[in-house]
Amino acid sequence: MGDPAPIISLHIFTVEPEDFARLAERATEALRKAATLPGFVSVNVFGNAPRTKLLLTSEWRSEHAWSQAEWDAVIAEVLTDLVENSRDHEFELYSHIAP
């Protein structure tokens, strides 16, 4: 059996424009913490021009590494804050299929 496939986690938060800057900083805080965890590969935070959507992406060496990160206290606290202060939240986990 080969190495586990890398995965990408995508979170899309719909936010009020007046909350955008604060929530973007909170997202960045969580992703900085994620960068210190085993199995971390990369992370990005994007925002749209109207300042109503935040996109968080993180790449992990395996689904196991990602699931371990989800149990980190700082990451859990920040994600809870983002979910509770967003109008909508979408989440998807993608497995690497081909280069």
Helix axes 73-84, 63-70, angle to 10 degrees: 80
Q: Which residues contact 94 (CB under 8 A, 6 or more apart)?
A: 7, 8, 9, 10
**Residue ranges covered by each domain of the chain:** 7-95
State the pLDDT at residue 14: 97
The CATH code belonging to domain 7-95 is 3.30.70.100
Whether the CB-CB separation of 30 and 74 falls below 8 Å is answered with: yes
Per-residue pLDDT of the chain (99 residues), as tens digits, is: 466 789 999 999 999 999 999 999 988 888 888 888 899 999 899 999 999 999 999 999 999 999 888 888 888 888 899 999 999 999 999 998 877
Strands 7-14 and 88-95: antiparallel
SS3 20: helix
SS3 33: helix
